[in-house]
């Protein structure tokens, strides 16, 4: 690279100055560090002859000091040459001039002027070389920054496009594997159940599962203890005796920290015949690791929050079902059926999440119904039925204070509305009833018919479908019913799971 850049420097403008200063000098030339002529004015062959004559005498372009050097060629000619410095201990080449021989003690004034000119020109060439070198460094730095920005923009795009955090991790790893041309990008956490990976294989890895399992062993323990990046490029690296043993791959593992603790590591893996992981790769991995660190903390908080929400919901449902043993499991079954219908209707993830909570907590308002009414085995009086009719509004009163459930509350509040507008609590009709409530209503109706009560055993699946057919268009949304019937026609696993009674089929 040094010789290529030195050969590319235009020294013509320096040469014109040297010719004016040099008087009767025959040749000026630029020679590389090996002694090969890169540029010469006048007759190139003449300078080559001078160099050949000197080489025959053992001349090797050495320096006795930092300044102008002299070597007599023969009785008629002398070679003057000045080093072109690439650094304190680095010589890029030489600026040479062939002049008429002179005795040092009688050197003419013009030789002093020539020496100064050679020094100035050599410095100018060196400066131009260093400028080119700095531009190369800047270009490489800009390329690295571009790679980082490109990766960051790619990560931001993935963050915008994904709602599910776990899928987001996989997508980010895939972006990393593709962008950095890594065979495998993996995220390994202290929780051994959390191990995600993406591949961009240059050729197969037949034992990939074993490789991913191995990452959780000594490699993770080593990175956790060192709290710094480990790079294994060399097959003879002594650390391979106890880290990633017998794995013939190039590895870069970057710790992901939360405070002082290593909560996970990002691992990039390549086949042994691919280029070594570089400092640029390391910087890009650091960019991704920083993103993953924030996401890991967010994922942990979301997981803990989700677990808390599930536990709170379970506690509320338990409180309701403790009042009436005959309704135990009703909320879970309605929730399961509602989610089946919602997925079959291809609801968006956000709507499915709201349906999840609305269906699970749709009867939480029954916690305020007196036991004598809720558990009464016989027909309810009008006043007692009024207590029952209040429970959707009570559900609303209980849940409306939870911001997280703002969009789920209408599903629980209106699941007793009827398609023809004769339901409660607000007498909504048709499509004015929230879709989530219409879905819950179908699931609730089916489970109410097939579940046992204090005053009767559960009825069969066939009876429930017949009753649903009868009230479709008056009580239930026909579109939702059609979806539910299509699900039932496929003999879904929940029929057996919920022990739904079946009619015997006559031959």
The HSE-up count of residue 95 (CA atoms within 13 Å, CB side) is 26
Fold match flag (2-136 vs 163-301): yes
**Spatial distance between the Cα atoms of 208 and 471, rounded to a whole number of angstroms:** 56
Question: Residue 366 half-sphere exposure, CB side, CA atoms within 13 Å?
Answer: 25
State which fold the 324-497 domain adopts.
Answer: Hypothetical protein af1432 (1.10.3210)
Q: Per-domain residue ranges for the chain?
A: 2-136, 163-301, 324-497
The answer, yes or no, to whether residue 314 has pLDDT greater than 60, is yes
Give 22's pLDDT tier (boundaries 50, 70, 90): low
Q: What is the CA radius of gyration of the chain?
A: 41
Averaged pLDDT of the chain: 79
What spatial distance separates the first Cα and last Cα of the chain, rounded to whole Å? 89
For residues 371 and 31, give the distance between their C-alpha atoms in angstroms, rounded to a whole number.
104
Q: What is the pTM of this model?
A: 0.49
- pLDDT greater than 50 at residue 190: yes
CATH of domain 2-136: 3.30.450.40
Which of 115, 100, 124 has its CA nearest to residue 27? 100
Cα separations (Å) of 49 from 44, 45, 73, 80? 9, 6, 10, 15
* Pick from 257, 262, 247: nearest CA to 184: 247
pLDDT tens column, 294-303: 666 666 666 6
User: 3-state SS of 131-183?
Assistant: HHHHHHHHHHHHHHHHHHHHHHHHHHHHHHHCCCHHHHHHHHHHHHHHHCCCC
Query: Which residue do the tokens 């050599």 mark?
Result: 122
- Band (259; pLDDT cuts 50, 70, 90): confident
Transcribe 446-497 into DSSP letters. HHHHHS-BTTBPPPPHHHHHHHHHHHBTTTB-HHHHHHHHHHHHT--THHHH
Over residues 319-348, the mean pLDDT reads 84
CB 296 within 8 A of CB 264: yes
Q: Which residues contact 86 (CB under 8 A, 6 or more apart)?
A: 2, 92, 126, 129, 130, 133
Q: Residue 10: its pLDDT value, please?
A: 64
Of the two residues 135 and 267, the one the predictor is more confident about is 267
Query: Would you state the pLDDT for residue 149?
Result: 47
Domain formed by 163-301, architecture: 2-Layer Sandwich (3.30)
pLDDT surpassing 90 at residue 463: yes
What pLDDT shows up at residue 302?
61
User: Cβ contacts of residue 441 below 8 Å, gap of 6+?
Assistant: 415, 416, 417, 475, 476, 477, 480
The model's pLDDT over 63-78, given as tens digits with 9 standing for 90+, comes to 777 788 888 888 888 8
pLDDT at 474 (0 to 100): 95
Express the helix, strand and coil content of the chain in percent, nearest 5 each.
Answer: 55, 15, 30
Read off the pLDDT of each residue in 131-148 and give the average, rounded to a whole number. Answer: 58
Strands in 190-314 per DSSP E: 195-199, 230-232, 249-258, 261-271
* pLDDT at 84 exceeding the cut of 60: yes
Q: What is the mean pLDDT of residues 332-350?
A: 94
What are the distances in angstroms from CA 330 to CA 28, 324, 446, 453? Answer: 99, 11, 11, 11
pLDDT at residue 14 above 70?
Answer: no
**147-186: per-residue pLDDT in tens?**
544 544 454 555 455 545 567 778 778 877 887 888 998 8
Tokens describing residue 441? 């209503």
Tell me: the pLDDT tens digits for 464-501? 999 999 999 999 999 999 999 999 999 999 999 998 98
Would you state the structure tokens that stand for residue 49, as one six-digit string?
A: 């002859």
Show Cβ contacts of residue 54 under 8 Å, excluding neighbours closer than 6 positions: 71, 73, 79
pLDDT for residue 21: 61
154 vs 171: CA distance, rounded Å: 10
Examine the pLDDT at 261 and tell me if it is beyond 70: yes
Q: Tens digits of per-residue pLDDT, 402-461?
A: 777 889 889 989 999 999 999 989 999 999 999 999 999 999 999 999 987 766 788 999
Element (DSSP H or E) covering residue 81: strand 77-87
Average pLDDT over residues 102-123: 78
The answer to whether the peptide bond before residue 425 is cis (omega within 30 degrees of 0) is yes
pLDDT greater at residue 55 or residue 336: 336
């Amino acid at each position: 690279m040094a010789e290529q850049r030195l050969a590319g420097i235009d020294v013509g403008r320096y040469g014109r100055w040297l010719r004016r200063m040099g008087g009767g000098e025959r040749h000026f030339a630029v020679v590389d560090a090996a002694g090969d002529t890169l540029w010469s004015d006048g007759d190139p062959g003449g300078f080559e002859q001078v160099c050949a004559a000197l080489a025959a005498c053992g001349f090797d372009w050495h320096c006795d000091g930092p300044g102008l050097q002299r070597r007599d060629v023969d009785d008629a000619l002398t070679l003057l040459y000045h080093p072109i410095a690439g650094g304190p201990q680095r010589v890029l080449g030489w600026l040479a001039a062939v002049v008429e021989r002179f005795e040092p003690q009688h050197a003419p004034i013009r030789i002093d002027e020539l020496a100064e000119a050679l020094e100035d020109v050599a410095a100018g060439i060196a400066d131009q070389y260093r400028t080119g070198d700095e531009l190369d460094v800047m270009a490489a730095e800009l390329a690295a920054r571009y790679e980082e920005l490109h990766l960051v923009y790619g990560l931001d795009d993935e963050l915008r496009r994904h709602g599910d955090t776990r899928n987001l991790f996989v997508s980010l790893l895939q972006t990393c594997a593709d962008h950095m041309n890594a065979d495998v990008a993996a995220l390994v956490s202290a929780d051994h159940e959390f191990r995600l990976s993406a591949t961009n294989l240059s050729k197969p890895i037949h034992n990939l599962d074993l490789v991913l399992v191995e990452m959780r062993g000594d490699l993770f323990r080593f990175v956790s203890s060192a709290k710094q990046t480990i790079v294994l490029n060399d097959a003879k690296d002594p650390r391979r005796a106890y880290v990633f043993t017998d794995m013939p791959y190039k590895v870069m593992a970057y710790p992901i920290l939360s405070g002082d603790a290593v909560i996970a590591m990002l691992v990039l893996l390549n086949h042994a015949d691919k280029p070594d992981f570089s400092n640029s790769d390391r910087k890009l991995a650091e960019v991704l690791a920083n993103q993953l660190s924030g996401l890991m903390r967010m994922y942990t908080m979301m997981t803990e929050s989700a677990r808390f929400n599930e536990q709170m919901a379970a506690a509320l449902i338990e409180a309701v079902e403790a009042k009436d043993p005959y309704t135990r499991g009703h909320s879970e079954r309605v929730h399961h059926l509602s989610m089946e219908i919602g997925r079959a209707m291809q609801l968006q993830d956000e709507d499915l999440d709201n349906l999840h909570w609305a269906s699970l907590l749709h009867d939480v308002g029954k916690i305020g119904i007196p036991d004598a009414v809720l558990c009464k085995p016989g027909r309810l009086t009008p006043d007692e039925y009024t207590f029952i009719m209040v429970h959707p509004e009570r559900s609303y009163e209980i849940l409306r204070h939870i911001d997280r459930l703002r969009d789920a509350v209408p599903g629980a509040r209106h699941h007793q509305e009827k398609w023809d507008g004769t339901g409660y609590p607000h007498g909504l009709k048709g499509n004015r009833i929230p879709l989530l409530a219409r879905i819950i209503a179908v699931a609730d109706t089916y489970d109410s018919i097939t579940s046992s009560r204090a005053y009767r055993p559960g009825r069969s699946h066939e009876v429930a479908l017949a009753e649903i057919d009868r009230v479709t268009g008056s009580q239930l949304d026909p579109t939702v019913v059609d979806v539910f019937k299509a699900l039932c026609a496929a003999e879904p696993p929940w029929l057996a799971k919920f022990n739904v009674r079946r009619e015997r089929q006559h031959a």
